[in-house]
Amino acid sequence: MTDSQAGQVFFRYRDKTVAVVSSESNLLDQITELFPGYLVRSPSESSATFQVKRKKIGWLLVGLPAGDLSIATRSGLIDELEFAITVELLSAPPLAAYIHGSAVLVRPDEAILVLGKSGAGKSSLALHWCVNGLQVLGDDILRLEPSGKISAFQRMFEVDSRRFKKLGLDKNASPFWSSLSSEVWFDPRGYGGWASGAHGVARVLLVEKNVSEKMKLSEVGIEEALGWLSVSLMPEGLSAGECLDDLISLVKHARCFRASIQDPAKAAPTLVDF
């Protein structure tokens, strides 16, 4: 970061630009690592500005819709900034539907979409697939296109640090590596990377935790799959009623399965090629 750029960074997604202002250039360098695909150098104007002010103990984050927030730790500051930036960028017009899930591209225009509750293994599956060379469409956030296809929202993965270390990943794959943290950010660009453009979904998986070591797969119909997708829509985007035709288009060309798994590492090879 040059002296002329020190003090602020800008992110642009579609027609929305967000600025982050801070006197700590190393903090700004870290923030740019979260959304590298959306970093811009000279925006005409910003739709939202978040300012970070250093305090004697911790930081003050200014510009949040709910009001200024005092934060004690650097990791907490990064998490709050990531969330605030994400929410602002997702509100970029034209408003779209966003799915809380993970997805990878297995063949041209054939993606696997993974849905499930927090902690079910969505991010862990995407991490394993990406490390083994598959292109990622997203972790946690996917954009539903009017055609029923999905496209990437390129934000770093937040993954379990134990799984990160178990895979033997280079610490350089995480812009915020810390041996003390239970979760770390993962940059897919050094592995399978990001898939560009919008892609059709070949398989939808609803992943559930299973105490048994034996993985269970059962195919379900369109109506049940639509129910999963409806509850997986993020509140920052369109509602299920507003994008129902797009949801139907998504599942109409996909096979949908309920997958009950214990260990994402063991399940990943089977789920990507069955």
pLDDT tens figures, 180-217: 677 788 889 889 999 999 999 999 999 998 877 788 99
Q: What is the pLDDT of residues 227-274, one digit of tens each?
A: 999 999 999 899 999 999 999 999 998 999 999 998 888 899 999 887
| Section 30-50 average pLDDT | 85
Distance CA(154)–CA(194), nearest Å, equals 7
Between CA 103 and CA 135 the distance in angstroms is 9
Q: Write down the pLDDT at residue 190.
A: 86
State the Cα–Cα distance between residues 176 and 254, nearest whole angstrom. 37
Nearest to 220 by CA among 254, 248, 189, 192: 254
Q: Is the peptide bond before 269 cis (omega within 30 degrees of 0)?
A: no
Banded model confidence at residue 93, pLDDT cuts 50, 70, 90: confident
What is the rounded distance in angstroms from the CA atom of residue 144 to the CA atom of residue 236? Answer: 13
First to last CA, the chain: 46
Ranges assigned E (strand) in 116-252: 135-139, 142-144, 150-152, 157-160, 183-186, 198-199, 201-209, 216-220
Query: Which one, of 24, 54, 36, lies nearest residue 194 by Cα?
Result: 36
Task: List, in sequence order, every residue forming a beta bridge with 60; answer none if it has no partner.
Answer: 53, 70
Please, which pLDDT band fits residue 166 given cuts at 50, 70 and 90? confident
Sheet containing strand 102-107, edge to edge, reads 135-139, 102-107, 110-115, 201-209, 255-261, 216-220
- Counting residues of the chain whose pLDDT is more than 90, the rounded percentage is 59
The amino acid at 239: S
Q: Which CATH class is domain 97-272?
A: alpha beta
Instruction: Give the start-to-end residue ranges of the domains of the chain.
Output: 8-90, 97-272
What does pLDDT average to over the chain?
88
Confidence class of residue 5 from pLDDT cuts 50, 70 and 90? Answer: very low
pTM greater than the 0.75 cutoff:
yes
